[in-house]
Amino acid sequence: MSGPDLRFLAERATRLDDHTHERLDEVHARIAVAHQRRSIGVAAGAAALVVALIVGLALVQRGRDVDSPGPVQKPTPTATVDVGAAAVPPPPTGTCWAVASELIAAGQITYDDSRQVPCTQPHTTETVSTFTLTEPTAKEAEPTGGTCGGIVGGYLNIDNESWIDADAFLFLPSKQQVADGASWVRCDVLIPGPWWTPVSLAPRLPVTMTSSVKDAADKPTNDLWTCLGQSPTQDQPKVPCDRPHAYEATGTLAGLGALSAYPSATELQAEAQADCRPAVPRRLAGASVTAAWDGREEFYQGLIRGVCFMYHEDGTLLPPR
C-alpha cells in the first residue's frame, strides 16, 4: 500500500462521525491489515507482481478540506548492501529500459537482460528504486513489491489531486549479472496501454515512452492520460486524448471507508458526484461524472475506491484534451 493509499485512510478517518481514539485505532488497524493483504498491488499468479495503482492511491478530498492530516511518508528501500550488490551495482534511479512487451505480459518476476537506453529514446520502463536481496530469486524479490508500488507513486508524484494510470514491475538482474555476483531486484514504473477495470489485476502491455516520467502526475501529457471510447466499467484499449473521446479521467479518485457492506449503485453514484465533480475542469464545465469502482471482489475491511471519469450523458464526445 502506497503513501497515497495511507492518506486515503487517514483522510477518511477525519470524516468518521465519531472522532474518538478508539475509532482512529480501528482505522490504523485496517491500514495494517490492508498493508499485509495488498500492499498497493496484487500477485498475478504465484510469482507475478504487477502493481496496479488504479486499485487505490488517494481519495479526492470532498470540498478540498485543509485540516486533513499531513501526507504519510512514502516507504523507502532498505540501505543494506552485500557483496553481490557491490560486485555488480544495481542501476541508478532514472535508468530507462527497452523491455520487450512480451516479458511484461508474462507477469512474472524474471531475469532481465533488456537494453538500457537514454530516456529520450523509445523505452517501456524506468527504474525508480532497487532492493538488495539475499538471493537473486523471484521468491526473495516478491516481498519488495508493496514498497515498490509505494515508491512508484512517489516518483510520479501522485497525490490526492494528481492521479495517472501506472503500473510497477519488478525485474531481477540478467543471468550473466547474477553469475557475476549481482543480487538485487529493480523496481520499474510503466505506463499501461489498455484500460482495465480495478478488478482486472493481470499485467498490462506498456506504452512506449520517450521521456522520463519523474513527477509526471503533476503535468501529464496526452500520451500518459486516460481517455476511453466506452464506459470505464469495461476493459478496453485507451484512445488518443488529442481526438474526441467518450470518457476522460479527471486525475482524481473517489473513496468510501468505514463501510459494513458493499454500497448500492445509488450510494456509489452519489459518492462519485461528491468526490469527482470538483475536479471537472472549466473546459468541460457541465460534463457528468462517474467512477470506476472496486468490485465486490475487492471490497475489504470496509474500504472501496474508484477512478473518476467525465463524460456527456447524451453520448456526445468530449473535445480533444
pLDDT in tens, 56-73: 332 222 222 222 223 333
Fill in the DSSP letter of residue 82: -
pTM value is 0.73
Query: Do residues 318 and 311 make contact, with C-beta atoms less than 8 angstroms apart?
Result: yes
Question: Has residue 136 got a pLDDT over 70?
Answer: yes
Could you tell me how far CA 306 lies from the centroid of its own chain?
A: 12
Query: Do residues 309 and 250 make contact, with C-beta atoms less than 8 angstroms apart?
Result: yes
Q: Pairing state of beta strands 227-228 and 247-256?
A: antiparallel
Which grid cell sits at 265? 449503485
25-29, 74-78, 294-298 — most confident range: 294-298
- Interatomic CA distance for residues 131 and 138, integer angstroms: 13
- What integer is the mean pLDDT of 130-140? 97
- What integer is the mean pLDDT of 183-188? 98
Q: How confident is the model at residue 300 (pLDDT cuts 50, 70, 90)?
A: confident
C-beta contacts of 42-48 below 8 A and 24+ residues apart: 42/201, 43/142, 43/145, 44/107, 44/201, 44/202, 44/203, 45/107, 45/108, 47/108, 47/109, 47/138, 47/139, 47/142, 48/107, 48/108, 48/109, 48/203
**Percent of the chain at pLDDT above 70?**
72
Give residue 301's pLDDT.
86
**pLDDT tens figures, 205-261:** 999 999 999 999 998 999 999 999 999 999 999 999 999 999 999 999 999 999 999
Q: How confident is the model at residue 36 (pLDDT cuts 50, 70, 90)?
A: very low
Q: How confident is the model at residue 299 (pLDDT cuts 50, 70, 90)?
A: confident
Give residue 201's pLDDT.
65
Cα dihedral value 114, 206, 75, 59, nearest 10 = 180
Q: Which residues of 253-283 are buried (b: 16+ CB within 10 A; e: fewer)?
A: bbbbbbeeebeeeeebeebbeebbbbbbeee
**Using only C-alpha atoms, what is the Rg of the chain?**
20
Give residue 71's pLDDT.
34
Question: Has residue 175 got a pLDDT over 70?
Answer: yes
Give residue 47's pLDDT.
23
Give residue 297's pLDDT.
83
In 3D space, the residue among 228, 108, 211 whose CA is nearest the CA of residue 165 turns out to be 228
Question: Has residue 5 got a pLDDT over 50?
Answer: no
Q: How confident is the model at residue 50 (pLDDT cuts 50, 70, 90)?
A: very low
Average pLDDT, the chain: 78
**pLDDT tens figures, 76-114:** 444 444 444 458 999 999 999 999 999 998 889 999 999
- Interatomic CA distance for residues 245 and 241, integer angstroms: 7
The residues facing 78 across adjacent strands are: none
Give residue 263's pLDDT.
96
- Sheet arrangement for strand 304-311: 227-228, 247-256, 304-311, 288-293
Task: Tell me phi and psi for residue 5, to 5 degrees.
Answer: -55, -45
- Interatomic CA distance for residues 169 and 269, integer angstroms: 33
